[in-house]
């Protein structure tokens, strides 16, 4: 069953013209992560590089392609977590960085802290030699169009909802059984300046523990925070282990997503792995672009119930 990697490219209502590109993007990301794992790379390397690829892909709401805040600016959140040590690194409301997930990893590896925010995160980036990129390089025409549309008081709520739902993330277990997660996002469309969502919040925007598994979520960030979605799913899996009432990643995810919907009226989705290498991609939203690679096969889907399989190698260059 090992190694395995599963990624998502955001949950919500994905416009038709972007759906195919989103699927291509998550498949590429899963392949990238899997190639690292097959070469004996760590789960941490796999999730970080899979997420960085999606940050670089303008189709996703993370890195280049991030949604804009109410002022038309890009402020990004990212986190990584290492299931061996429970060590974690995050940045919140960071600007002018191409790959927030790399910066989050540097926070974990090079500081005694777990999270740096805003200007402090930028100063740390400079001290690490991470180049500052022009803000315009992160902003796509599509992001600008949606920002303008949503400034309109008569904005279409479906359009609005889409903006709330993007985030990219990955979970992996490497051949040594080490587990990691990574999540990155531009946040919520037309968010207030300085708004921090679930992503950099340990237990909300991700969690990884070698003893249990890992989760990377996407969806309505505020709802995810209220129920600490990532840790909640792992609690369910853990509880299953303790009381011999086995809760698979799939069952645990569905239980937690249903709870999030009922208790705080929030929609979202997750990719999950357990320590044995079982994975799940589940969502309560209309769609979530996801892909997973395991035992030479690439699995992917977009709508609920969709599950396509093809050889990982097939389209590799």
Q: Taking CB under 8 A as the rule, does residue 203 contact a copy of itself?
A: yes
Q: What is the Cα–Cα distance from 295 to 140, expressed in whole angstroms? A: 36
Told to judge if 167 belongs to the known catalytic residues of this protein, a careful annotator would answer yes
Distances in Å between the Cα of 281 and the Cα atoms of 53, 86, 111, 135 are 19, 23, 33, 33
CB of 287 to a copy of itself, least distance (A): 23
**Least distance in Å: CB of 116 to a copy of itself?**
5
In the stretch 155-194, what mask flags binding to a copy of itself with x, by CB under 8 A?
Answer: ---------------------------------x--xxxx
- Sign of the alpha-carbon torsion through 298, 205, 16, 260: positive
Number of residues interacting with a copy of itself: please give it, by CB under 8 A: 48
Alpha helices for 211-270 (secondary structure H): 221-226, 229-242, 249-264
- Residue 251 touches a copy of itself, criterion: CB under 8 A: no
Find the angle CA(213)-CA(216)-CA(219) to the nearest 5 degrees.
145
Is 113 one of the binding residues for a copy of itself (CB under 8 A)? yes
Encoded one letter per residue, x for contact with a copy of itself by CB under 8 A and - for no contact, window 21-60 reads ----------------------------------------
Task: By CB under 8 A, name the one of 86, 158, 309, 316 that touches a copy of itself.
Answer: 86
Tell me if 149 contacts a copy of itself by CB under 8 A.
Answer: no
CB of 117 to a copy of itself, least distance (A): 5
Q: Is 150 in the site for a copy of itself (CB under 8 A)?
A: no
Residue 161: phi, psi to the nearest 5? -60, -40
Element (H, E) at 182: strand 179-185
Q: Which stretch binds a copy of itself (CB under 8 A): 23-31, 41-49, 86-94, 173-181?
A: 86-94
Task: Give dist(CA 130, CA 248) in Å, integer.
Answer: 40
CB of 166 to a copy of itself, least distance (A): 16
What is the DSSP secondary-structure string of 94-113? E-S-S-HHHHHHHHHHHSS-
Query: Contact, 280 vs 253, CB < 8 A?
Result: yes
Candidates 23, 167, 183, 185; catalytic one: 167
**CA dist., res. 195 & res. 258, Å (int):** 26
Would you state the structure tokens that stand for residue 123, as one six-digit string?
A: 């100063």
Contacts with a copy of itself, residue ranges (CB under 8 A): 75, 85-88, 90, 92-93, 111-121, 123-124, 188, 191-197, 200-204, 207, 221-222, 225-228, 231-232, 235, 239, 243, 263-264
Would you please indicate which residues are annotated as catalytic (active-site) residues? 167
């Amino acid at each position: 069953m090992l190694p395995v990697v599963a990624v998502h490219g955001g949950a919500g209502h994905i416009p038709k013209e972007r759906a195919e590109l989103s699927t291509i993007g998550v498949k590429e990301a899963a392949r990238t992560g899997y190639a690292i794992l097959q070469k004996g790379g760590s789960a941490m390397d796999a999730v970080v590089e899979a997420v960085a690829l999606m940050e670089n892909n303008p189709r996703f709401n993370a890195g280049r392609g991030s949604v804009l805040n109410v002022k038309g600016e890009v402020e990004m959140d990212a986190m990584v977590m290492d299931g061996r040590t429970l060590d974690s690194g995050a940045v919140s409301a960071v600007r002018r960085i191409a790959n927030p997930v790399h910066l989050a990893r540097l926070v974990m590896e090079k500081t005694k802290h777990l999270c740096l925010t805003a200007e402090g995160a930028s100063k740390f980036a400079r001290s690490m030699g991470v180049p500052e990129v022009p803000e315009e390089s992160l902003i796509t025409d599509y992001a600008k169009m949606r920002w303008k549309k949503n400034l309109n008081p008569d904005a279409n709520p479906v359009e609005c909802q889409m903006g709330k739902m993007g985030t990219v993330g990955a979970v992996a277990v490497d051949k040594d059984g080490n587990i990691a997660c990574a999540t990155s996002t531009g946040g919520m469309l037309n968010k207030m300046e300085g708004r921090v969502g679930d992503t950099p919040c340990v237990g909300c925007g991700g969690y990884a523990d070698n003893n249990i598994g890992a989760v990377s979520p996407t969806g309505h960030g505020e709802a995810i925070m209220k129920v600490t979605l990532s840790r909640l799913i792992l609690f369910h899996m853990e509880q299953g282990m303790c009381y011999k009432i086995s809760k698979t990643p799939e069952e645990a995810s569905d239980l937690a997503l249903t709870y999030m919907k009922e208790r705080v009226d929030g929609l979202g989705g997750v990719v999950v792995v357990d320590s044995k290498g079982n994975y799940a991609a589940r969502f309560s939203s209309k769609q979530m672009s996801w892909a997973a690679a395991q035992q030479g096969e690439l699995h992917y889907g977009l709508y609920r119930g969709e599950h396509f399989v093809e050889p990982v190698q097939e389209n590799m260059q």
